[in-house]
Amino acid sequence: MKQFATVTVIGRDKTGVIARVTNFLFERRANIEALEEQVTRGQFSMTLEASWKAEHWRPDVIRGGLEQLGRDLGMEIKLRFTEPRRRQRFALMVTREPHCFQGVMAGVKAGRLKADAALVIGNRTDLQRLAEDYGLAFVLVPWVDRVEAEQRVLAELEARGIDFVVLARFMKILSPNFVWRYKNKIINIHPSLLPSFPGSQAYRQAYEHGVKIIGVTAHFVSMNLDEGPIIAQDCFRVRPDAALKEIVAAGQRLETKVLVKAVKLYLARRLDVFWGTVKQV
């Protein structure tokens, strides 16, 4: 059975980084399954998916070698791998609205989502009691300084062996520096049929524009706000006399349903992202 791993490389752009990393992996008998890189304002970021046959898989040797290569290049190089038969571990990031958090946890409890919730991270304490009621550790990370906050969250995710992240109505924007480390592994729910009405006031925008159909979108988080690859969408019709409060309530019920559907598709390994578009395989 193959062993799969994700390698992330982040640092100041310089010549030869891709060659150095891929040559190292080739020498360790890895097969490169996918590679994506970009340079933004002088920062180089690369995500690489690799696999090994069981007899060639030496995680301590590979991890140690990549860490040394990172020191040589003056860059951060991380290796994350998941045992093929191990249940995925995920973290929930929340702010104050409980509906999506509760929906995901209900899916886990009912066995519809075959993964383990390992951690709840909140930028407020509103949902701390709820997290503890589910038996989950709650970590408060105030979002006063985004750089400092993201560094703390990344440290928590790595320390707890988190495979993917669910943004359950988390109302803060994640930087490219954060997103690249978990590329196509952060799932968000947005209250509109993207690409229409991005941002935090989607229902109000839809209400004020008088739209007749309102929807929600689950997507992978990308470096651009609310523009990540779309996983799932759904919608509902709006009565001519519907108040904004009614629209928000209907939208929240649908948000929960679509977010759970997106996580389920992700766990079933039925999603492939190609040129920024999600394909079900």
Catalytic residues: 226
Distance set, CA 189 to CA 50, 156, 246 (Å): 29, 22, 19
CB atoms within 10 A of CB 54: 9
Give the separation between CA 58 and CA 61, rounded to whole angstroms.
Answer: 5
Alpha carbon distance 253, 210 (integer Å):
20
- Count of CA atoms in the C-beta half-sphere (13 A) of 205: 13
Query: Would you say the C-alpha torsion 104, 105, 108, 114 has a positive or negative sign?
Result: positive
Nearest to 28 by CA among 76, 81, 85: 81
How far apart are alpha carbons 136 and 16 in whole angstroms? 43
For 206-235, b/e burial (b = at least 16 CB within 10 A) is bbeeebeebbbbbbbbbbeebebbbbbbeb
* CA pair distance 218, 188, nearest whole angstrom: 6
Beta strands in the chain (DSSP E): 3-12, 31-40, 43-52, 76-81, 88-94, 115-122, 138-140, 164-167, 186-190, 213-220, 230-237, 271-274, 277-280
Three-state DSSP at 38 gives strand
Nearest to 34 by CA among 23, 22, 48: 48
